[in-house]
Amino acid sequence: MRLFKYIGLSIENLGVNRLRSLLTMLGIIIGIANLTLVLSVLQGERKMILGEMSGLGANVINIYSMYPMSEMEQFLIKKTPGVVDVFPDVYLSTQIKLGNDMKDVYIQGVSSDFERIFKIEVTRGRFIRMSDLAKKKKVCVITETLAKELFKERSCLGRDIILENERLKVVGLAKDKMILSKIMGSFLMLAPISAVQRMSQTEEIMGLNVILKDSKSVKQVSEKLDKLLNKESLGEKRFWISSMQEMIESTKKVTGIIALIVGAISGISLLIGGIGIMNIMLVSVRERTREIGIRKAFGATNRDITTQFLIESCFLTVLGGIIGLVSGLLIANIIVYFLKIPFIIGIEYLIFGFLVSSIVGIFFGLYPARLASKITPIEALRYE
């Protein structure tokens, strides 16, 4: 019952100076809102990216060489335990006619298995077939974004795309995905490997896509291939081996570092807010010296005075934390809606916000509360 009495007194005292109380809470509000906002958006973005990356060839290893790969090296890679299939990573960088301008375009050579391995969603037409590769047909699959740029609202199937020295016929329209995103500011198109080799006028293989039985063996097979291919190198590493798993781990590390930086920045805001609360509470102690003396004269103990001022301090920080939490969530909800990413908020955020606010209130309110409790009735009644 006494606790509720102290809470009532705290609300009454803080209500006397509403504007001052609000300005005092501002640092806490900004710190908690900033932390909640960035972590919510970051978690949503992370979930979307990792979810998409996990489905984009999680069982694929990419091998690149400084020099053209020999048939023996390709054979050794294909016969490595755990490897199911191998197909060349062939690409061509050229330009595409877009209206009156020429834009950079990146043509990726693919096999008929590329659609299944990288889960490409063809919305109209078809994907590259085995017959396209055998006959070196100059056909391509483009993304919905590129189709809009090239053909506006008109149908793109069966139409020709004019390159610098070639023409490619559009046979399929693919849904935009991370694997089909722009590369270094260039548009991306998919064409048969044989056609891309023909356009680039070389059949040399500088890179391979290695398909494994499952994603669990990626690390083990990568290490095995690294030892196998680079054991003959004398001081220089000729082959580079990467995988989607490595990219996923790198993404987790980057998002983790960003979260730590955001936490540090928010911590500074909370520290400034806490110092502001301590300052205001010290002012409050000075202003209410006579009140403290009168209460002590009527039997209030040091513990009663300490508890009351601590509750006032905690009330300020917890209320500021709640306002910051709600503000951060509302702004985050708006941002993720426009970015079209998942909105993620766990119960841990709510608990964390409440705990941090309470700790700041107790830590920065303890000194003013102890100072107030040490005031004697005689000192207080003499105070002008």
Give the mean pLDDT of 98-107: 77
SS3 of 67, please? coil
Q: Which residue has the higher pLDDT, 334 or 59?
A: 334
**Cβ-based burial of 318 (10 A; exposed 0-12, middle 13-18, buried ≥19):** buried
Q: 0.75 exceeded by the pTM?
A: no
Q: What angle is formed at CA 188 by the lines to CA 61 and CA 339, rounded to 5 degrees? A: 90
Give the mean pLDDT of 67-89: 83
Q: pLDDT tens digit string along 227-265?
A: 878 776 555 678 888 877 777 777 778 877 887 787 777
Give the mean pLDDT of 351-365: 73
Tokens of residue 131, six digits: 């017959």
Q: pLDDT tens digit string along 184-231?
A: 556 788 999 888 888 888 778 888 888 887 777 788 888 888 887 877
Q: What angle is formed at CA 9 by the lines to CA 368 and CA 289, rounded to 5 degrees? A: 45
Q: pLDDT tens digit string along 134-153?
A: 888 889 998 888 888 888 76
Q: pLDDT tens digit string along 22-60?
A: 777 787 888 788 878 877 787 777 777 766 666 566 678
Q: Please check whether residue 13 is in contact with residue 312, taking contact to mean a CB–CB distance below 8 angstroms.
A: yes
pLDDT at 259: 76
Q: Which residue has the higher pLDDT, 152 or 378?
A: 152
d(CA 296, CA 240): 77
SS3 of 181, please? coil
Spatial CA neighbour of 329 closest among 1, 32, 54: 32
pLDDT at 167: 85
Lowest mean pLDDT among 60-74, 134-148, 343-357: 343-357
Residue 10 has pLDDT above 70, yes or no: no
Average pLDDT, the chain: 78
pLDDT at 326: 86
Q: Please check whether residue 199 is in contact with residue 164, taking contact to mean a CB–CB distance below 8 angstroms.
A: no
Spatial CA neighbour of 284 closest among 364, 378, 382: 364
Strand boundaries in 72-138, DSSP class E: 83-88, 90-98, 101-110, 122-125
Give the mean pLDDT of 292-315: 76
pLDDT at 333: 85
Residue 72 has pLDDT above 80, yes or no: yes
d(CA 369, CA 278): 10
Band of residue 127 on the pLDDT scale cut at 50, 70, 90:
very high
Band of residue 274 on the pLDDT scale cut at 50, 70, 90:
confident
What proportion of the chain, given as a percentage, has pLDDT over 90?
2
Residue 1 has pLDDT above 60, yes or no: no
pLDDT at 147: 85
Task: Enumerate the β-bridge partners of residue 60.
Answer: 211
